[in-house]
């Protein structure tokens, strides 16, 4: 019983200024970034050799990891290793040419032809570079990043930055681009008396003039960060994914960073107290509330290359794991259970509970945790919902609560070592999502449930992502509300919609490797339809989580950044005036084409 629920949860989530170098290459006057092997602008071998002399590591030449299986008759590499690990997030993150969702390793040309390298080499399709950057820097130090940034600036290269490749918008890949790979920046330090740079001992934090803080290098992943926090008897707010493979100091925090602990302790941005960053001018800056405070405020955009993030930590507390799983025997039962959960769960987040609910017209699953409460109190809180589910399903539902002595104990039991494989990793996937305001789910839960369930009645739903077109059920991420709502909406550059949200709703679509472009477009158009449904249901101003969202947002400025966008744009212009770090649907990207390669004329 418990194993089924556990398995289900495991599937879940010093250089000069710019003006001093602009004149060194006429390519800077171009409206487009220089792409790989363009004879008019691409650096020579001698120039790359010069760059190598300034780095701590040799240059890397990323390739799709699946290339080891080609040719099918005589594989060029260890295809067995690739086959065994292709769906493991930690293995994929260790490959410089890999994305967690391999569709972002793939490039579709305007004429409909595809450049890709599929895991199944017997499809008869040649292995090609696709969207994988052909060359890059294996950054181990801030100086490596500074050298890479200076080189990219001099030659007007298109730059992408990647740590683990957990990116549902494909921002850490780019055809013909120059990669800055931060995955191996693994420094971790714990400081029991941390004071932010420039801070004063006169300023107190929870009654103390210092913080118990964890500083993580840009390549640290959450399983490493959780281990470090546990070793020091503390808890840090972080991401949830099988094996803890998500990066802790990269895209996760720049998008705001939601967590199963967010209703209790806030979002990642609410727990970050300092970061260091290399800007497009090559400066390695420290940003916090006292120095470069504007940059520190501007979480939610891309302003440079993060080299570290410092998080406040929290005391260890007991947690209760809560889970319920059931099938629906009729639409009326589905409507009753889902609408009751939707209206009920804000009261859970008020108590600091967090979790993930997955529902379709045929089934419902919720897995979450209740922090810092007794087993008896947790049971009393969840009992009304458990009773409703039990009565509606004639006692056939699986319902359980399990006490753990800490979040770390729960995490290691459910998502720790050996649980890195997941249906969502190594599979083609695109998403559509929206933050759902609290007043909507509390006051109109029947309509919300009816709409979401009716959407799922019109799509093909398969449990396996590997063998068929897939159009997903609705995950209701209970990672908003509670402590998230108690933060001043203007205290960070994060979309203020987060502070009014009760949950984040996500739809997704996937397709098997080797699909035709027409089949891929069919799924993508369905995902666009999901987005339209969510927009109609939530209305304007609902917002979405920048890291789990749609590539088809018509007004990304409002969706991801809300009324903070103009200020964020000003900060972007100050720290990255040439748009070296522009990304799809990121701050400033409205000036660029869809591939963020050429400026609009």
Q: Could you write out the DSSP letters of every residue in 322-370?
A: EEEEEE-SSHHHHHHHHHHHHHHHHHHHHTT-EEEEEE-SSEEEEEEEE
Contact 445, 357 (CB under 8 A): no
pLDDT in tens, 280-297: 999 999 999 999 999 999
Residue 11 pLDDT exceeds 70: no
Residue 424 pLDDT exceeds 60: yes
Sign of CA dihedral 204, 207, 212, 217: negative
Residue range 456-483: mean pLDDT, rounded: 53
Contact 267, 498 (CB under 8 A): yes
Residue 132 pLDDT exceeds 90: yes
* pLDDT at 542 (0 to 100): 84
Residue range 488-516: mean pLDDT, rounded: 93
Instruction: Report the alpha-carbon distance of residue 416 to residue 405 in Å, rounded.
Output: 16
Element (H, E) at 490: none
Residue 316 pLDDT exceeds 50: yes
C-alpha torsion 99→596→63→103, nearest 10:
40
Residues in the chain: 601
Instruction: Report the alpha-carbon distance of residue 148 to residue 103 in Å, rounded.
Output: 27
* pLDDT at 465 (0 to 100): 29
Element (H, E) at 385: helix 375-392
Cβ-in-10-Å burial (0-12, 13-18, 19+) of 36 comes to middle
Which residues are CB-neighbours of 440 under 8 A, at least 6 positions away?
Answer: 448, 502, 537, 538
Instruction: Report the alpha-carbon distance of residue 599 to residue 420 in Å, rounded.
Output: 40
Each domain of the chain, given as residue ranges in start order, spans: 2-10+319-407+414-562
Residue 421 pLDDT exceeds 90: no
Quickly count helices (H) and strands (E) in the chain: 18, 21
CB atoms within 10 A of CB 367: 23
Residue range 181-193: mean pLDDT, rounded: 97
Q: Which long-range contacts (CB under 8 A, 24 or more apart) does 197-200 make?
A: 197/274, 197/286, 197/288, 197/290, 197/291, 198/286, 198/288, 198/290, 198/291, 199/288, 199/289, 199/290, 200/290
Instruction: Report the alpha-carbon distance of residue 335 to residue 320 in Å, rounded.
Output: 27
Q: Tell whether domain 2-10+319-407+414-562 is in CATH 3.40.50.620.
A: no
Please give the share of the chain, as a percent, with pLDDT higher than 90.
Answer: 80
Q: What is the DSSP letter of 125?
A: P
pLDDT in tens, 214-250: 999 999 999 999 999 999 999 999 998 888 999 999 9
Residue range 313-333: mean pLDDT, rounded: 96
Contact 469, 522 (CB under 8 A): yes
Contact 501, 534 (CB under 8 A): no
Instruction: Report the alpha-carbon distance of residue 445 to residue 142 in Å, rounded.
Output: 49
CA–CA distances in Å: residue 444 to residues 342, 360, 438, 450: 9, 19, 10, 10
Mean pLDDT for the chain?
89
Per-residue pLDDT band for 478 (boundaries 50, 70, 90) equals confident
**Helix spans in 266-330 (H):** 268-271, 293-297
Tell me the Ramachandran region of residue 156: left when phi exceeds 0, alpha when psi lies from -120 to 50, beta otherwise. left
CA–CA distances in Å: residue 200 to residues 126, 204, 205, 209: 60, 9, 11, 8
Contact 371, 319 (CB under 8 A): yes
Instruction: Report the alpha-carbon distance of residue 286 to residue 291 in Å, rounded.
Output: 7
Q: Which is more confident, 360 or 79?
A: 79
Sign of CA dihedral 113, 114, 115, 119: negative
* pLDDT at 196 (0 to 100): 93
* pLDDT at 480 (0 to 100): 86
* pLDDT at 456 (0 to 100): 60
Per-residue pLDDT band for 57 (boundaries 50, 70, 90) equals very high
Sign of CA dihedral 210, 270, 258, 451: positive
Tokens of 364: 């419902």
Contact 170, 108 (CB under 8 A): no
Residue range 128-145: mean pLDDT, rounded: 98
pLDDT in tens, 292-313: 999 999 986 689 999 999 999 9
Identify the weakest region by mean pLDDT among 120-129, 136-145, 381-390, 539-548. 539-548
Residue 379 pLDDT exceeds 90: yes
Residue 14 pLDDT exceeds 50: no
Q: Is the pTM of this model over 0.95?
A: no
Residue range 44-55: mean pLDDT, rounded: 98
Instruction: Report the alpha-carbon distance of residue 25 to residue 91 in Å, rounded.
Output: 39
* pLDDT at 460 (0 to 100): 30
Task: For strands 135-138 and 178-181, give the pairing.
Answer: parallel
* pLDDT at 211 (0 to 100): 85
Instruction: Report the alpha-carbon distance of residue 225 to residue 434 in Å, rounded.
Output: 29
Identify the weakest region by mean pLDDT among 10-24, 87-101, 379-393. 10-24
Residue 79 pLDDT exceeds 50: yes
Mapped onto helix, strand or coil, the DSSP state of residue 374 is coil
Q: Which is more confident, 19 or 64?
A: 64
* pLDDT at 393 (0 to 100): 96
CA–CA distances in Å: residue 10 to residues 13, 142, 470: 9, 34, 19
pLDDT in tens, 191-218: 999 999 998 765 555 555 568 999 999 9
pLDDT in tens, 154-180: 999 999 999 999 999 999 999 999 999
* pLDDT at 206 (0 to 100): 56
């Amino acid at each position: 019983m418990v194993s089924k629920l556990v398995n289900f949860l495991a599937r879940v989530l010093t250089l000069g200024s710019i003006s001093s170098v602009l004149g060194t290459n006429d390519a800077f006057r171009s409206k487009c970034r220089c792409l790989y092997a363009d004879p008019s602008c691409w650096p020579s071998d001698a120039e790359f050799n010069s760059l190598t002399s300034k780095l701590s590591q040799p240059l890397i030449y990323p390739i799709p990891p699946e290339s080891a299986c080609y040719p099918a008759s005589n594989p060029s590499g260890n295809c067995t290793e690739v086959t065994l690990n292709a769906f493991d997030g930690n293995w994929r993150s260790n490959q410089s040419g890999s994305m967690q969702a391999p569709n972002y390793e793939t490039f579709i040309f305007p004429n409909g032809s595809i450049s890709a390298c599929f895991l199944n080499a017997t499809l008869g399709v040649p292995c090609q570079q696709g969207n994988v950057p052909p060359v890059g820097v294996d950054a181990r130090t801030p100086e490596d990043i500074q050298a890479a940034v200076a080189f990219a600036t001099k030659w007007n290269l298109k730059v992408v930055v990647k740590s683990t490749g957990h990116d549902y918008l494909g921002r850490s890949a780019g055809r013909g681009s120059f990669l800055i790979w931060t995955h191996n920046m693994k420094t971790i330090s714990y400081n029991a008396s941390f004071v932010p740079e420039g801070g004063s001992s006169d300023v107190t934090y929870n009654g103390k003039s210092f913080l118990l803080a964890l500083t993580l290098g840009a390549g640290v992943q959450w399983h490493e960060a959780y281990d470090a926090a546990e070793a020091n008897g503390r808890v840090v707010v972080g991401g949830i994914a099988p094996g803890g493979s998500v990066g802790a100091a990269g895209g996760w925090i720049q998008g705001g960073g939601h967590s199963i602990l967010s209703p209790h302790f806030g979002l990642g941005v609410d727990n970050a107290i300092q970061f260091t960053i290399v800007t497009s001018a090559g400066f390695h800056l420290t940003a916090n509330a006292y120095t470069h405070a504007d940059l520190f405020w501007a979480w939610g955009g891309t302003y440079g290359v993060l080299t570290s993030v410092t998080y406040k930590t929290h005391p260890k507390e007991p947690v209760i794991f809560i889970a319920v799983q059931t099938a629906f025997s009729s639409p009326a039962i589905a409507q009753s259970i889902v609408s009751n959960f939707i209206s009920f769960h804000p009261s859970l987040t008020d108590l600091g509970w967090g979790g993930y609910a997955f529902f379709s017209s045929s089934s419902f699953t919720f897995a979450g945790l209740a922090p810092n409460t007794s087993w008896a109190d947790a049971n009393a809180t969840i009992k009304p919902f458990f009773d409703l589910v039990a009565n509606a399903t004639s006692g056939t539902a699986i319902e359980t609560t399990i006490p753990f002595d800490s979040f770390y104990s729960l995490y290691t039991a459910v998502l720790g070592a050996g649980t890195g494989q997941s249906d969502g990793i190594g599979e083609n996937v695109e998403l559509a999502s929206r933050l759902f305001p609290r007043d909507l789910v509390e006051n109109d839960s029947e309509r919300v449930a009816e709409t979401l369930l009716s959407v799922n009645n019109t799509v093909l739903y398969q449990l396996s992502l590997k063998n068929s077109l897939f159009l997903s059920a609705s995950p209701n991420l209970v990672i908003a509300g509670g402590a998230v709502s108690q933060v001043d909406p203007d205290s960070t550059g994060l979309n203020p919609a987060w502070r009014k949200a009760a949950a984040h709703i996500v739809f997704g679509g996937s397709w098997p490797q080797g699909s035709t472009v027409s089949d891929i477009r069919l799924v993508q158009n369905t995902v666009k339809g999901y987005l339209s449904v969510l927009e109609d249901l939530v209305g304007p101003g609902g917002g979405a989580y920048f890291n789990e969202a749609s590539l088809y947002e018509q007004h990304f400025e409002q969706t991801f950044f809300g009324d903070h966008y103009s200020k964020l744009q000003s900060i972007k212009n100050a720290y990255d005036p040439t748009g070296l770090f522009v990304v799809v649907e990121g701050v400033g990207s409205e000036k660029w084409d869809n591939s963020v390669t050429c400026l609009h004329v």
